[in-house]
Amino acid sequence: MITMDTSIFSFRLDGQLAVVTGGGMGIGAAISVALASAGARIVVVDRDESAASGTVENLCTSGHPAEAVILDISDEASVTHEMERLVARVGAPNILINNAGLQHRKLLLDTNAQEWDRMHAVNTRGAFLMLRECSKAMIAAGIQGRVVNICSLGILHPMIWGLAAYASSKGGVMALTRNAAFELAAHGITVNAVLPGGVATPGAMAATGPAVAGPALRGSPLGQCEPVDIAAAVVFLASPAARFITAQSLCVDAGFLLS
């Protein structure tokens, strides 16, 4: 007779604290709602106070505990200070979702170093700082945590013109994912990445710059993903069901790589 621990089949996150960067809108807001629906308490980290407050109000109105931390994740001193305050107030996080990011489009030959640096400061440096501080807190508390980094399908295949800086910054996040997973495995912390394809979000729609050419304009075989599709993948990787998955990348692209 085969016996097994069926608790790993659960996607419940009851009693866990989840920090979601960029949780004020779009994919981040959907991730916050999905994790809360699975039982987690949510901390929405965002530099946009109005957006963060909107997500928190939505969650609290629905009966899910949540709070906001207003923070520029590219600022090391601010990240260290705010995460120390958070841990002192509510304890160490069980889950970190590195979702915050910029996605302004500009052709490679027109991109200047300042624009390149700003993209990497938020998308790559910010993910590193949040991962470092949250992992320190997890280890100090003896928590075998989960980190999920939101990357981009653009690191595997060019999608549209104007994403050289963006895709490069997200490529750095993928490298961070693998190396952090390698170092943090000894502490029982898993680190994985979700790679969204084209997703209609307020941030993507408001992104400046050209979108005049590229395979993404043809669409994907299954249509266009919605933020909830990315959120579902995140819940899986944060759940007990993914306890032995680390350093992996999960594409949620509606079959884009097939086209």
Exposed / middle / buried, residue 205 (Cβ in 10 Å: 0-12, 13-18, 19+): exposed
Predicted local distance difference test score (pLDDT) of residue 190: 98
Please state, in angstroms and rounded to a whole number, the distance separating the CA atoms of residues 32 and 87. 19
Please state, in angstroms and rounded to a whole number, the distance separating the CA atoms of residues 143 and 95. 10
Strands 146-150 and 95-98: parallel
- Report which of 116, 145, 111, 118 is spatially closest to residue 130, judged by C-alpha positions: 145
Q: Which of 17, 36, 138, 166 is catalytic?
A: 166
pTM: 0.93
pLDDT tens, the chain, 259 aa long: 666 677 777 899 999 999 999 999 999 999 999 999 999 999 999 999 999 999 999 999 999 999 999 999 999 999 999 999 999 999 999 999 999 999 888 999 999 999 999 999 999 999 999 999 999 999 999 999 999 999 999 999 888 889 999 999 999 999 999 999 999 999 999 999 999 987 876 666 656 665 555 555 667 788 888 999 999 999 999 999 999 999 999 999 988 888 7
Predicted local distance difference test score (pLDDT) of residue 210: 59
Please state, in angstroms and rounded to a whole number, the distance separating the CA atoms of residues 205 and 182. 36
| Cβ atoms of 96 and 149 closer than 8 Å | no
Predicted local distance difference test score (pLDDT) of residue 157: 87
Please state, in angstroms and rounded to a whole number, the distance separating the CA atoms of residues 100 and 129. 12
Domains of the chain: 14-254 (3.40.50.720)
Predicted local distance difference test score (pLDDT) of residue 233: 98
Predicted local distance difference test score (pLDDT) of residue 222: 86
Predicted local distance difference test score (pLDDT) of residue 208: 60
| Cβ atoms of 35 and 235 closer than 8 Å | yes
Does the annotation count 166 as an active-site position?
yes
Count other Cβ atoms within 10 Å, centred on residue 183.
11
Please state, in angstroms and rounded to a whole number, the distance separating the CA atoms of residues 228 and 233. 9
Report in angstroms the alpha-carbon separations of 213 from 70, 144, 159: 36, 44, 8
